[in-house]
Structure 1
Amino acid sequence: MPHNKGKTIGKADRAARNLSQLETELRHLQRNDHRGRLSPTAHAKKQIDKPKGQAGRSELKGGYSLQQAMGLAGNDQKYNAFRMMARKYTNRYLDTSWTLKQQDKLTVTFLLAYAQHKHQFLAKFRDNWPFHDFMGCYLRNHVQYTKKQHANFDNSEIEESDVSDGELDNMLNDDEAALTPTSQRKRHRHAHDSDDSETDEERSPQPQKKLKFAHVSIPARAKPAPASRVKPAPHAHPRASMLLQYHDLNLHAHDQPGKGRADELLFGLLDSQSLLTGFYVK
């Protein structure tokens, strides 16, 4: 019981931190709106309403395809960018061990508003319903998978994407030809790395041949010569270095000791150092 109580407290603390962070970021975006930036809904001439039914279910069961409802039936690139962005924010701000109904309502509301402010592509959807539907399907599948497997969810699915928010925004709002050269290079390099990693995993290891070695006589190792003892420089000691600086610094008269006193302290320090280390400084 105490163990479960600790988990509950940990989840509550994480939810409170996520809510505070979302509120701060949303207020920052709203301040930019007041400084001349348009609100997300101002960019949309006509908003698209949510279809009837549940996303992910067949039409016979009263559902609809989320990709088709968003008008992205022929644009897999933009739809995959949306899924990547929604999965990234869901993993960052929500508890993936709970369904959408179990999440904090205020946190979900802030997250929907934040995503719509952050990515203008979502402005044309009333109340950001595609993001809401995706979160519901994603969290429900995540919880069901975890219960069936009795293990942690695949880390490759829940790790945040290394694609930045700006690149996701470009992928959502523009086509491949409209992306900046830097974004194109990063995306092509990311895709190339992914292809290489998949090829390496699919490649089966080749059996290695056993090598036969002939008998080789190895001469005895020569003993290393004893290391020579090097006299340290007079200024190696930190206090000696500090005293040597008195000759070069231009200090006030009441701060700078006499030159004779500095020499006396310096050579006295070096004599004591030679007694401790065994080195004699001429």
Structure 2
Amino acid sequence: MERRQFLGAAALTAAGGALAAPAIAQDRTTWRMVTTWPKNFPGLGVGAQRLADRITTMSDGRLTIEVYSAGELVPPLGAFDAVIEGSAEMSHGAAYYWQNKSPATAYFTGVPYGMTSRELASWIRYMGGQELWDEVYDQFGVKGFINGDTGTQAGGWFRDELTGLSDLQGLKFRTPGLGGKVWEKMGATVVNMAGGEIFAALQSGALDAAEFVGPYNDLALGFYQIAKNYYLSSFTEPGLATELAVNKAKLAALPADLQMIIEIACQAEYDQIACDFYANDPRSLAVLVDEHGVKT
């Protein structure tokens, strides 16, 4: 090749590379995930970060997820609103936290005397549950994905032993979802608040009793330091699923393969969270009883 031809070809190659670089950069997107869980919280907070990392890795960095734990970007129970408004692209929480927006949200987390976690996942994936979920969330411009299974919940922590329904009258009790409606019918005053706020509320007397998840998470939050009566298992939450809520417009703007990566990553995380809880709930319960004198 003559020197002039070589230099011309080299110049074209360099120009092509310069033009391609911005196009490659534009293909990389960063999203914000807000959560209802404390940072590095066992099971749920760790799972939210793991899901974000999984999506980032599976997409080879084309979709990078930055995680903001409860209160870092928005209040814990403001996570869903942040997704609706678009100030965050996705949230990690539980659908029944948004019951004030639609009572139907509880059915995608767990309801009193309802399905076990595995039955709930089967209903969502194979028996029309996802279609109903989509219908409920369409009004908010949000898409919900099941992404975790915490198993059967605990009934709650109480300072004093319950001897009858009279003990529930006016009792300030933290419990969300349709289960809260059942406790209200029995006389309790039901309060909904994020998990990371429960300990301080119990300590101050703003709450008399509380239900959150189960032994694994409850041990980490230290409820046993205030209340020693722990009732198992919950009739109001025989199975509980967590969710990833995604802004529909932002989701639709992604290439099809990135949309699929989000869905597949949620399925993988569902199994991992389930195994985490099923392994650590019994271990944590033993610690609560044997080392901290909790009565069940």
* Structure with higher strand content: 2
TM-score where L is the length of structure 2: 0.25
* Structure with higher helix content: 1
User: Which one has more relative contact order, counting CA pairs under 8 Å at least 6 apart?
Assistant: 2
